[in-house]
Structure 1
Amino acid sequence: MENDINYSTSKLTPEKAFQMLRSEGLDVTPEQAEEILYFLRIIANIAVLKYLNKTK
């Protein structure tokens, strides 16, 4: 999957997301963990933009 997120400046890396998901009992691969993290960042960005547009 091609994405534009710079993980070197992110606080939650794909490796850390993988470890967190595995510790919660989810059987995921490192690639799946990266895609989940990418999806969550998209959702978070949409939520922030929606909130900021409401407050104008």
Structure 2
Amino acid sequence: MKRENMKKISPEQAHSMLKKEGLDISLEQAEEVLVFLRKMANIVVSNYLNQSNHGEDS
């Protein structure tokens, strides 16, 4: 799936999902959670790709 076709979870959606799980946070906090998770996802993918590229050099 191309990145352009992927829909991002909105802060409102994240807030609703977290509330259903019993986590009572503000909409602003839900937005910060999303920012953090997106950063973490980018780091994990970058690390994975870097490890894969280094394995091919050997």
Deviation at 1:10, TM superposition (A): 3.5
Count how many residue pairs are aligned between Structure 1 and Structure 2.
48
TM-score, scaled to structure 1: 0.80
Larger Rg: 2
The CA RMSD measured in Å over matched residues stands at: 1.2
Report runs of 4+ in structure 1 exceeding 4 Å deviation: none
TM-score by length of 2: 0.77
Q: CA shift at 1:16, angstroms?
A: 0.4
Task: Please state which structure has a larger fraction of its residues in helix.
Answer: 2
Runs of 5+ unmatched residues, structure 1: 1-8
Percent sequence identity is 54
